[in-house]
Homo-oligomer: A and B are copies of this chain.
Amino acid sequence: MKIVCSKNDLLAGVNIVMKAVPSKTSMPILECILINAEDGEIKLTVNDMELGIETKVKGNIEEAGMIAIEAKLFAEIVRKLPNDDITIDVSDDLKVKITCQKAKFDLIGLDGNTFSFLPDINKNESIYISQFSLREIINQTLFSVADNDKTKILTGELIEVNGSNLRVASLDGFRISIRNITLKEEFGNVKVIVPGKTLSEISKILTGGLEDMVNISFTENHILFEFDNTVVVSRLIEGEFFKIDKMISNDYETKVKVNRNELMSAIDRATLLAKEGNIKPIILNINDDAMNIKMNSFIGSMDEDVDVDKEGGNLVIGFNPKFIIEALRAIDDEEVDIYFVNSKSPCFIKNEELSYIYLIVPVNINTNVN
């Protein structure tokens, strides 16, 4: 195999596929990038069996072929080469020569035939959505995916299509994050659970705007994202997602409308008194004048009144401050509405159109109130 690519084109492609390189594995081939120069196309692929990414790179194929090269080293070499044409020349015995201007690297590659290619996908159902919107709804819900995998389903996000409605949701046992978005066309019905890691990586390589579309296809076991010159394939998580509709209620006893930034800053300040590993609840005391934010710890205490428009009765309720801040951070609105039932029931931060719903379970503060 012998190809010539500009450094910038090659680096752009490498940066995309690198997102699928696993951090640790016992199989060297999974840590490789496959360069496949056949049929007039140069394709880069990384596949760790859960998540696979393939992207096309512009360049000249002087001799067709393929080679697998340790991905991190190859990426570093491309990054540090001068801004000029890079030639990759592979001999029959897998010796790889990378040259650019006067710099020459000699490496040993792995046989491309031992590489796990992306699976062939029989698309059952497809939708399309702007890269911008998909990136947004991922980032606005991904934070409440559970990061351990005791319950595998919780490490993924629900992606559900019903006609023109796309719903993305995650929950970790303490909170639920839901985003609804209206698609430009009617599609069928789909309900899958996508690994959080896949969505995290997809959101990093989807750099396009509102006009740049991404096609999403679904099969029994896989989800496929296609955009620009790139294909991302991920395994789905098997099983049935929690029935989140049953967890959502529209009843409330107290509703407050509050400036999002003010509330977020006040809670952020209060958490200074909770040292790491010693999570203290933030106590919201909703009274006739304001919502008082209070934090007590062995370090000291903090309190601050935040102006609110209140509807309904007074209430004292405690929360893990991180959960409130993460939900508020995922919202763009200047003002948010928070709905409460009582000090033992979850609160809901949601808008009228229900384009977002954040449910947060409170903390028992009987022993914490002074």
Which residues on A are within 8 Å of B, measured CB to CB?
Answer: 73, 76-77, 80-82, 102-108, 265-266, 268-269, 272-273, 299-306
B104 & A272 in contact (Cβ 8 Å cutoff): no
A77 & B269 in contact (Cβ 8 Å cutoff): yes
B107 & A300 in contact (Cβ 8 Å cutoff): yes
B105 & A302 in contact (Cβ 8 Å cutoff): yes
A265 & B82 in contact (Cβ 8 Å cutoff): yes
B82 & A272 in contact (Cβ 8 Å cutoff): no
B272 & A106 in contact (Cβ 8 Å cutoff): no
B302 & A272 in contact (Cβ 8 Å cutoff): no
**Which residues of the other chain, B, contact A266 by a CB distance below 8 angstroms?**
103
**Which residues of the other chain, B, contact A103 by a CB distance below 8 angstroms?**
266, 269, 302, 304
A80 & B304 in contact (Cβ 8 Å cutoff): no
* Neighbour of A76 across the interface among B272, B304, B305, CB < 8 A: B272
Within the complex, the shortest CB–CB distance from A157 to chain B, in Å, comes to 32
A102 & B302 in contact (Cβ 8 Å cutoff): no
A302 & B104 in contact (Cβ 8 Å cutoff): yes
Within the complex, the shortest CB–CB distance from A10 to chain B, in Å, comes to 15
Contact A102 to B304, CB < 8 A, known contacts A76-B272, A80-B269, A80-B272: yes
A77 & B107 in contact (Cβ 8 Å cutoff): no
B104 & A300 in contact (Cβ 8 Å cutoff): no
* Neighbour of A268 across the interface among B80, B300, B305, CB < 8 A: B80
A300 & B108 in contact (Cβ 8 Å cutoff): yes
A106 & B304 in contact (Cβ 8 Å cutoff): no
Residue of B nearest to A296 (CB): B106
A217 to B304, CA, bound (A): 47
A266 to B82, CA, bound (A): 9
Within the complex, the shortest CB–CB distance from A47 to chain B, in Å, comes to 23
B102 & A300 in contact (Cβ 8 Å cutoff): no
B306 & A272 in contact (Cβ 8 Å cutoff): no
A106 & B301 in contact (Cβ 8 Å cutoff): yes
A268 to B76, CA, bound (A): 11
**Which residues of the other chain, B, contact A108 by a CB distance below 8 angstroms?**
300
